[in-house]
Copies of this chain bind each other. A is one copy, B any other.
Amino acid sequence: MTANPFPRRAEPDVRRQGLIAACTRVLAREGAAGTSVRVIAREAGISPGLITHYFAGIDALISATYDHVDQTVAAAMAQAVDAAGSDPRARLDAFVTASFAPPIADRALLATWIAFWSLVTARPDIARQHDDQYAAYRARLTELLAACGVRCDHLRLAAISVTALVDGLWLELCLSPGCFTGTEAGVIARAHIDALLTRRA
Contact B122 A118 (CB under 8 A): no
Interface size class of A (residues with CB under 8 A): 35 or more
- Does A48 reach chain B (CB closer than 8 Å)? no
**What is the interface of chain A mostly: helix, strand, loop, or mixed?**
helix
Complex interface bits, A145-173 against B, C-beta within 8 A gives 1, otherwise 0: 00000000000010011011111110110
- How many copies of this kind of chain does the complex include? 2
Within 8 A of B (CB), among A120-146: 120-122, 127, 130-131, 134-135
Give 8 nearest A-B pairs by CB, closest first.
Answer: A164-B168, A168-B168, A195-B195, A31-B121, A167-B168, A31-B122, A32-B118, A164-B169
| B-chain residues with CB within 8 Å of residue A30 when the two chains form the complex | 121-122
